Amino acid sequence: MSQARPLSLITGASAGIGTAFARALAARGHDVVLTARRTERLETLATELRTTHGINATVITNDLADPHAVEQVCQTLDERGLQVDWLINNAGYGVPGRFDQVDWPVHADFFRVLMTAPTELAWRLIRGMRERRYGRIVNVASLAGHVPGTAGHTLYAASKAYMIKFSQSLALENKAVGVHACALCPGFTKSEFHDVTGTRSMMNKLPAYMWQTAEQVVQEGIDAVERGDAVYVTGRFNRAVKSLFKLMPDRMALTLSAKQSKRYRTQDKR
């Protein structure tokens, strides 16, 4: 590492898992670059981290749905002489509703934020990591990437399955040069995610044992990528769910998924 302290870039840092990653990595002595759309939240978090941990916190406001966002972020990093050692690809959201009832531009933005942007960030930053023979990439995926897709969030599980396979390949290609990649796969996590998708009231009916805090998810994720795990599912309950679906015949798994998904999605328009 060429810098006095390791530098972590966290996307979607303004809330939830992203904020928890920023706090956890700052507590480990990392300088941080915080990116998201909400400048005020990022600036508040940056001030907190500087004051609490004495580290450097840089804010870059951007919208990853913009096709040029990643290039602009990396250009800003280059201009400031910042070399990223840890990349946390966390930005994401869900698009509720039946596939054909959502306008295509909404789906296109979703693809850019959850798949294209994190892939491009990894592509642009991993070369420097390889040259320095040190790097960590955490792609925040989901338990949803391991189980059958559900109605009402048509692209979500598909995008997370992509991130899992992408992370596995990155891990295989780069582990020998000191660069670890990990797909972090949480289940239900206490954050703003379900407020954004309008499913908070339904989520509140789920039992407490199904939930983790963002802080728990992040700590498990940091430990996993340091160990060199290419894929890691957080929480005992979530790992049990993954194992259960893996053992089931496909038809049975799809039937069970269809029944359970009705508990936490809004109803379609007919």
**Catalytic site residues?**
156
By residue count, the chain amounts to 270
Token readout for 98 is 């039946």
Encode burial over 55-91: b for 16+ CB neighbours within 10 A, e otherwise: bbbbbbbbebbeeebbeebbeebeeeebbbbbbbbbb
| Residues 20, 217: Cα–Cα separation, whole Å | 9
- The answer to whether the beta carbons of residues 9 and 36 sit under 8 Å apart is no
Report yes or no: 84 and 77 within 8 Å, Cβ to Cβ. yes
Closest to 187 measured CA to CA, from 165, 229, 216, 159: 216
Residue whose token pair is 């934020």? 113
Residue 208: strand, helix, or coil: helix
Q: 3-state class of 114 per DSSP?
A: helix
Gap between the Cα atoms of 120 and 11, Å rounded: 13
